[in-house]
A and B are shown apart, each in its own frame.
Chain A
Amino acid sequence: MLLRDVLLVVACAVLACACANKTIVSGRPQTAVEKKGEMAIDWQPFSCSRGKLFDGALRIAQRYNLRVDTLEKDSGFIEFKLGQLGVNELTLYTRFPLVSPYEGYALGSYREFVEHYQTEPTGSVDLTFLMTPKENGTTELAIRSHWIARDPGSQTKVSSSGYFEDQLVTELARETGCPMVGRWSRAAQNKLGRLRELGEESLLDGDDYWVARSALLRGSDDED
Chain B
Amino acid sequence: MMRTSSAFASGLLAVVLVASGVLAAGCTRNVLSHPVSADVYMKEADGEFVWMGTTPYADKNLVWGESCWRVEAPGYARSEEMCAPGGPDTITILYYLEEADVRATAEESSLDIGASLHDARTRFQNGDLSSRQYRRLKADLIWQYIGG
Residues on A lying within 8 angstroms of B by beta carbon are 23, 25-30, 100, 102-103, 105-108, 191, 194-195, 198, 201, 203-204, 207-208, 211-212, 215-216, 219
| B148–A100 CB distance below 8 A | no
* B132, closest chain A residue (CB): A105
| B113–A203 CB distance below 8 A | yes
Provide the bound-state CA to CA distance between A9 and B142, in Å.
32
Query: Could you tell me the dominant secondary structure of chain B's interface residues?
Result: mixed
Give me 15 other A-B pairs in contact (C-beta within 8 A), A28-B52, A102-B54, A191-B148 excluded: A25-B67, A26-B47, A27-B50, A28-B51, A29-B52, A108-B131, A191-B147, A195-B146, A198-B145, A203-B117, A211-B142, A212-B143, A212-B146, A212-B148, A216-B146
* A30, closest chain B residue (CB): B51
In the complex, B59 has a CB within 8 A of chain A: yes
Q: Which residues of A contact B147 (CB under 8 A)?
A: 191, 194
Q: Which residues of A contact B114 (CB under 8 A)?
A: 201, 203
| A-B contacts at CB below 8 angstroms, number | 68
Provide the bound-state CA to CA distance between A184 and B142, in Å.
19
Provide the bound-state CA to CA distance between A195 and B83, in Å.
39
Segment at the A interface, from B3-11, B93-101, B133-141: B133-141
14 contacts between A and B (CB under 8 A): A27-B50, A27-B52, A28-B51, A28-B52, A102-B39, A102-B54, A103-B74, A105-B135, A198-B142, A201-B114, A204-B117, A208-B138, A212-B142, A219-B148
Assuming the contacts A105-B131, A105-B132, asked whether A25 and B53 have C-beta atoms less than 8 A apart, the reply is no
Other-chain contact of A208, B64, B67, B132, B142 (Cβ < 8 Å): B142
| A194–B145 CB distance below 8 A | yes
Other-chain contact of B113, A26, A198, A219 (Cβ < 8 Å): A198
| A25–B61 CB distance below 8 A | yes
| B148–A26 CB distance below 8 A | no
* B136, closest chain A residue (CB): A105
Assuming the contacts A23-B61, A201-B114, A203-B114, asked whether A106 and B51 have C-beta atoms less than 8 A apart, the reply is no
Q: Which residues of A contact B108 (CB under 8 A)?
A: none
Q: Which residues of B contact A191 (CB under 8 A)?
A: 146-148
Could you tell me the distance in whole angstroms from the C-beta of A31 to the nearest C-beta in chain B? 11
